[in-house]
Amino acid sequence: MTLWPTVAEQISTQTGIPFVVGAVHPQGGGCISATYVVEDGQRRYFVKVNDAHRSAMFTAEAAGLAELARPRCLRIPTPITVGVSGQCAFLVLEYLDLDTRNHTGMAQMGRGLALLHRTTQDHFGWCMDNTLGATPQHNPETKDWVSFWGKYRLGFQLDLAHSIRRGEELLAKLPAFFTDYRPRPSLVHGDLWRGNAALTRTGEPALFDPAVYYGDREVDLAMTELFGGFDAHFYAAYREAWPLDSGYSVRKQLYNLYHILNHFVLFGGSYRNQAIQMVDTLLAELG
């Protein structure tokens, strides 16, 4: 297998320090890419592996991690290299020693996320397209948030899902959720469920596996609530650093619909019924 010698060669080239893969440890939890930890007895790296045609996905992920690291608000693994070996694409990241059972730094994570969201630009979108899981995510420069969310997020997923009743009706009524609310283009993680956030052994809050773009900061907060795992200290610290608009309680369903539709597209099953129920609930909010 040529993968690991190629990975070692690129690590050596990028770091300037010779590296030879001495051990490979498969890691669990990855539903899109296979994940490994490689080591030489002194240094360790985290490696994600997928089919060669997905190399652009890894290039965008590496760029997204670099974008999240730029404000220095939270611990973000440093991308080392992206490459292709035979039929495999790979992404090598700095290894973070995570403590998945540690919840004592959740307030610090909430404050750090609020600071991250203070990083803004003058338009929504990003400098490149990327992926949400394995699904393409388009990020063209857009001045209007409702247009961006309607076309490149909700509308795109509804087109992929095909059979979501009243989805087009919801799209047509999208402006009604933003009559008194004008979000700024904040730097967002984009896929912020608990599996993509952790604390290191030294207590630093860390984020990884992003789907970065500049959008309404509420999209990140909404997803933290979708599958749970973020405690009251996290939310209290975030709201203290940057209070949320009163309409968030309704819009979070609108934002999480995007992720439920994506889960339906990727995994099928009961996510379709959940998406239909969310559409009905959102339309009922409008009367």
Rounded-to-10 torsion of CA 59, 190, 131, 255: -170
Does 144 qualify as catalytic in the annotation? no
Report the topology of domain 106-285. Answer: Aminoglycoside 3'-phosphotransferase; Chain: A, domain 2 (3.90.1200)
DSSP secondary structure letters along 78-138: PEEEEEEETTEEEEEEE---B-TT--TTHHHHHHHHHHHHT-B-SSBB-SS-EEETTEEE-
Give tens-digit pLDDT for 244-254. Answer: 999 999 999 99
Is it true that domain 3-94 has CATH number 1.10.10.410? no
Q: Which of 99, 144, 159, 191 is catalytic?
A: 191
Give tens-digit pLDDT for 152-207. Answer: 999 999 999 988 999 999 999 999 999 999 999 999 999 999 999 999 999 999 99
- List the domain boundaries for the chain: 3-94, 106-285
Q: In this predicted structure, what is the pLDDT of residue 103?
A: 67
Q: What is the pTM of this model?
A: 0.96
CA 21 – CA 11 distance, rounded (Å) = 10
Mean pLDDT of the 221-226 span: 98
Nearest to 49 by CA among 6, 78, 9, 17: 6
Cβ pair 65, 93 in contact under 8 A? yes
Nearest to 49 by CA among 111, 106, 3: 3
- pLDDT band at residue 31 under the 50/70/90 scheme: confident
